[in-house]
Amino acid sequence: MPKKFVSNKDETVRMFNNDFMEVLSRVHPSVPLIIFVPIILYMLYLSVFYFKATTISIISFVIFGVFIWTITEYLLHRFIFHLEFKSKLGARIHFIFHGVHHDYPSDSRRLVMPPSISLPLAALFYFLFRFLIGEASVHPFFAGFLIGYLFYDMTHYAIHHFNMHSKFWLAIKNHHIKHHFQNPDKGYGVSSPLWDFVFRTNYSNKEKQNA
């Protein structure tokens, strides 16, 4: 169990003295779907009716976008969310971005990314990918990227609040639960353990057997 673990109850700790900032830090798990599903549909609409992309091209770029999300998820979690500074300000920033989740892992209002963070990040990634692959290709690609993100956010919520029964979902859940309660320096993949295998941050067979 990580030494910073505080409570596994569905409870919310106050992070900001300012009421407006505090409200922005809490989000219902349906909010990412409400915000990003229309954006995904708009990206696909532009691909079909404006850029006249072929079905094969759209499907290929969507799959590619989902794939790129998986490594983005891993890298963000490992190198950004778990980046800790020695200063008080750095520790405060880390707590706001991710530390609070490790302290209160079942807080249902801080399990999905708040729009105050997800929307600026989405805009940043959109323009980065547009620069790299061009205006025509970026729309189906970014639709796939956002699909991957939504799968991550919904999976993360489900891991902490749903009962898993299938072997697939149990494996996904156990992988992430070990990150919280056994070794926070491993298991950075939430929706998929793929990159933990690639970058050797997966759990050993002995660790997997331990509860």
What's the pLDDT score for residue 90? 79
Q: What are the C-alpha distances in Å from 52 to residues 39, 48, 139?
A: 18, 5, 12
Q: Is the dihedral of CA 32, 34, 36, 40 positive or negative?
A: positive
Residue 167 CB: number of other CB atoms within 10 A?
A: 8
Beta carbons of 148 and 61 less than 8 angstroms apart: no
- In terms of Cβ atoms closer than 10 Å to its own Cβ (0-12, 13-18, 19+), residue 80 is exposed
Global pTM reads 0.92
What's the pLDDT score for residue 35? 97
What's the pLDDT score for residue 204? 80
Q: What is the pLDDT along the chain (211 residues), one digit of tens a residue?
A: 345 667 778 888 888 889 888 888 889 999 999 999 999 999 999 999 999 999 999 999 999 999 999 999 999 999 999 888 788 887 888 888 888 898 888 888 888 999 999 999 999 999 999 999 999 999 999 999 999 999 999 999 999 999 888 999 999 999 999 999 889 999 999 999 999 999 999 988 766 666 4
Beta carbons of 58 and 41 less than 8 angstroms apart: no
